[in-house]
Structure formats: C-alpha cells, structure tokens
Structure 1
C-alpha cells in the first residue's frame, strides 16, 4: 500500500509526542470525602504537568500544564470542587463529569488569584463519579498564555447520617445514663447529645468532645428537675443527622450526708473517767450501749480498740465533747482508736491527738465518724481499710498529720483503702474493696501528704463538700485530693494552696481496671497553680463537669461536660 509523505509526517509526530510526554499517574480507585492535593495518588495527571512550590497555594504547591493532557479523579461523594490558580497567562479547560462535557472553564485573571474554586458540582448521588479536566490550548483574548493549573480537588459530603433511634434514659448516681442504637453509615464519626432543662426551649450540647460510642452518663444533675434529651449523628464531613425523638427523665434522688452531732448522742450507759474504764467499756460494749467520754478528761493510752458491733436500730455510741481527749502518747506508735471487725458504731464529738494514727477502721461496716477533732498525728488521721464499707466520715476537723519521725510522706488526712505493697497484710493480697464510703464536710489542714486519698480497689463512694488545704504538703504530693478508685463522686470540695493541681485521678499501668468512671463536679480552687482536675492518660470514663472552677492553668486536661 502506498502512503503519502504528509501522512507519514503526521504519524511520526504523534509517535514522538507519545514517547516524550509524561505518562499518566496510576489510578487508585474512587475516593471518599476529603481534600486531594495536586500530588495526591488519588489524582491522575496525564501530560507534562510541572509541580511548583508556593506558600500561597493549598499545601504549598500547585501543578501547571502547558501541553496536551488532563487531570482526573474518581470519587464517591455528592460533589466535587476544582481549586486552581487564575492568572494573566492562564488558558481554558474543558470539564467532563462521568464522560460528559459539562463546562469550559476560563482561568484568566488580570492579577493572579490563589486557591480559587473554578468549578463545582453538588447534589450528585453518592455513587462512583469521574471528573476529568482537559487542557484545550485555547485562551481568553486578554491572556498571554494558555496553560492550566491544578491546586487541589475537594470532594465534600453533604448527605447527613440517618436519625439515631432507640434513645433511652436511666437514673444513675448523680445523673442520667443515656443509650441509643448505633448508626450503620460507613463514614459515621460519632454523636452529639443535647439536653434541655424542664420545659426550657434552650438545648445545650452535653459535652464538646464527640461521643464515639452509643452511651453517655450525664452527671451532676438536679434531682428536682426533669430533663429532656435528643441525639444527633455526625459523619466524617461534619454533617449532622436530624434529631432523634425527645425523651424525658428525672435523676435519682441524691444521698444525704448528715451525721450525728454530740447533741444526738443518747443518754450514757457508761461514762468512763480513765483509760482503764474506757478499755473495759469498749471490750464489753453491746448493741445500744452509749460510751460517753467525760468533759475535761484526757484518756492517755495507745491502741484503744472496739471489736464489738451494734445493730441498725441499736448502734454502739462512743461520744464526748471536744474537751474529752484520747491521747495516744506519741506520734511514733499506736492508734488513738481502732475499730476492728465491727458494724453499726457511731464515733462522735471528742478529740484524738498525739498518736501515730488517729482513727483506724478495719474490716467494718456502717461506721460513722463525725464532728471529731483529730490533731497532731504521726501518720494519717483517719484510715478506712481492709474492706471497710458503707461508712461515713462527716464533719470532722483534721489538723496536723505526718508528724512522726520521717513520716511526712504518710501524713494523709483521710485515707481509704490499702496501698498495693501492703495488701498481703491488710486485704488478703487482693485490692482493698473499701466501697461505698462517704467523706463529707470535713475540714482538713496541715497535712504533709494528701488531704484525701482513695486507693485502687475502693469504689462507689463520695467526697463531698470538704475544705482541704495543701499548705504543708511536700513537693512529692502534687494534689490535695488523689483518686485511684472507681466510680467516686468528687463534688463541691473547696481546694486551697496546692503544690500543683487541685485533684488528680490516676490509673496505674499495672492495674488498668482501677481509676475509672469517676465524677468530678462543682469543685472550687484557690491558689492552685496547675489544673483543678488532672486526669491520667490511662484513665477511662471519668467526667469533669464544666461547673468546676478554673485553676491557674485551667479546669482540666480533658474536655468538660456541661
């Protein structure tokens, strides 16, 4: 077959163009919502595209094409945006959507314009689509060139998730526990929960942080108020679903923390006047007995012990005025009073001082320590341990601990549970389950260690309305209140003069099952140089209410709940 010279020349030119042009970048498949820069693997570039750096373009670069070629992306979202640079030397490009030409875009501008949306389409079904941008070689008559540019391609998602269903509410502790049915969208990011008080039309987002699961505990609520809730789902493009059905719920009633005072102490059944008589009365106590210490009397003896129980209707009382003093004889040894294996005992009103430990309660339940003055103590002032449960430490004054020889590290005000290294001595080598205890309305000052410490193993208690002062605490005790236990409510405490933070909650790396699900609510801070509440990075489920005060570095290192 004879071929003309002209045809041969054209064929040679096409072959040469194919051999010298840049190959197309490999396809990576359809992509979801996101911003895809000019050098993204999701963007196919065919032709001699030049990549140029520039701080004025998206991600610091743009691509420019001066010859034959195109840019292409496949996407699954409801729309796409082409971001480009417009200039006096730019030309025109044809835009194809799913193989159909939809627009010719002119990139000319008399002065350079950066990060311009030059083409946009929305409202597409969320199936696979392909956008192709083809350089035409044509230009505006005012342009001095015909190149085209690609800065980025943005695939937005405008379709919200489905409305969440199955929202339920259950009263729990200080608030309400909300649960709902999980959405199934593949691009689901989480949920937003909203609350309205009573009949109010104002809805408040319960927490700033995205809710990643399908449950949230809304803490610190007023039990006299009925609350309304609704939830919305959020996808990875920040689209919000319609609101769920609204539900209503009131919180459970709060526990009361009143405790007996000296005026509540019944008529004495025995009034010991010296140490021997007091030891005898304690050894022989029975349900309903009232051991009243005499005014202006000092009972000088170490290791007073009660190992007898009362009943719910007939507790044993040990009571007396402040001028009745149990003196332990020195801060290096002994206890002011030990309650051992007992239940239903009220210890009210008098003073304990000058002992290694003030009040120690072991393996007991339903013990009330109220309106006591405990001062000048070698180690800790009040210690509930060895699985002591359901007891109250209310309205006491603790003044001066850690005064024993080299005992400053152990000078806690109120100490719940047992340190890990002591468990084989006090709790059968197991975590000390001193659960459901209340520490409320105490004044705790001049402690060399934490004013209140809750050890791992102790759960489901309250630290409420206490006034704690960390002035005498050493630098190795950074917070007046420290919690390693689970499900404690730390509420309305007034914290002053901390070394660092007001309170801390920790999970030890060797006991990840503790330090969880605590509630930090409405606490105040004065002269606290760190955070009001520092939550350890291994700790899960702890709530810090936005009603906590701000310390000098802020409220907390985690998002607060409104």
Structure 2
C-alpha cells in the first residue's frame, strides 16, 4: 500500500500453471496435425496387390489377387520361370481380381505378375509379388516338339555328321563395384555372335543389352543402381541369325558402388512380340544336332 493504492502481485505458481497449459495445448495441436498428415499420406499411397497362383489340374493355373482401391483394371503377365519373355494375358480389359490361365504345358513352371491400372491408363502403385506354379493335368495337351529330330534316310548321313555335342557356355556375373557388373561366358562353337538380356530380379521386363553385335565372351554392364539385384540370360546366334541352342543359365548379382548412377528402366515389362516369340520357340525347337545351353556369368567390374 503506497499513497493509498494497492498493487496486486502475480504469484509464481499461477505463471507456471499458465505455461504448462499453453505447452500442453501446443503439443496436442502438433500431434493432431502429424496424425492427420500421416493418415492422409497412408491413404494416398497405393499398395501392391498380393498375387496367388494355384495349379488346378487339366493344364490350368488359377490366379487371384487382393483388390487395389482406385484401380480401374489390372494388368497380368506370365513367363516360363526358366526362360525370359513376359507376355500380357488379360487383353487390357481385366477388371476382376481372378484369372484362369488354361492350355498350359504339364510339368512346366510358370511365373506371374500383376499390377493395378487407374482410370487414366496409368500404373497405380507397384507390381505384385512374383509367384511361381507348375502346371499339371491329364488328357490330351498341346503337343510340344521332342528333342529327337525325325531323320529320313537321305538325311541320315548329314545328321550323323552334325550330331557332335556343342559345348554350352556357362554365364557368370560378378559385382565389380562402382555400379558395375562384369559378365563372362564360355564360347559356343559355331556361334557368330551372342544375345545378352537383363532384367531386375524382382521385376519383369527383359531388355537386350548388346545391340546385336556382341561377338566376344564378356560384357561390362555399367550405370546400374546400387543395391538392386539384376538377372541375366544369354544365347548363341549362328551365321544365319538363328538361335544356336537354348538359353543359358540365369545368374543373379547385386550391384554395389558409390556416386550417381544412370537411371534404369522401370519394372514395366518391355518384351516385344518378336522377342517373346523367339524366346519361346528357342526353348522348344528341335535341331538335328544336340546343342547345349550357354552358361552366362555376371561380374561387377567397378
């Protein structure tokens, strides 16, 4: 009390209480905003469909997958598990979550992949998993060429002369650092050149690497993405431009290295009809001589 005037004093406890209340309100607002953002991001990120393949007998495999919200249709691909060459099955109008793949070859293992497509025809989210299933069944199936050529008497002499076994090259892949994989293979007698293909191991889409003029027995694959596993396949080509024997083995190698890398194509299958037909025909074509498969090696060369 000075000159008759009373000056109230603010207590420290009141100030502390107000500070605690303001801090709690700020923290609650921040948490609410973060939760809302996380929820919005989760809703806007499409998930990959989960694909299941089941042998149903009668040369048929049944496929089903989980629905992707916002999908206008789906795109389904198939290849033989041991031969490169993805083929689209659905005709571009697959709007359900199941498909029956019929007319298959008993004993052959097939691999499948599916992805969602939006109303604008653009991919909606990533590819599915890549399940494999072996076709089985009874009854008549589509005949496939045998490995024994039918030789007429006039052809007997020629067939005997060319019946020597052609050694198969073995393909090897080695990580050499610096976003590079080195590939090498043994020579195929009679080969005029070789045809080398690559895909990401977990995504369909074989691409030819050599430009059609690969005449040596090695190749350096550069500009790869570190941490990505790649798969390779090789076959020999004769002087007439025809495949000389079946495809090689299919080695895998993971690229490593530092520094910027050259972007690689997306996982979209990029198999042309000509390539697919050739790959399919090569695996089953019978020749008068026994031609073994080349073996391909991949090596990362730094």
Higher-RCO chain (CA-CA 8 Å, sequence separation at least 6): 2
Question: Does the TM-score normalized on the shorter chain lie above 0.5?
Answer: no
Which structure shows the higher helix fraction?
Answer: 2
- TM-score (normalizing by structure 1): 0.17
Q: Please, what TM-score do these two structures have when normalized by structure 2?
A: 0.30
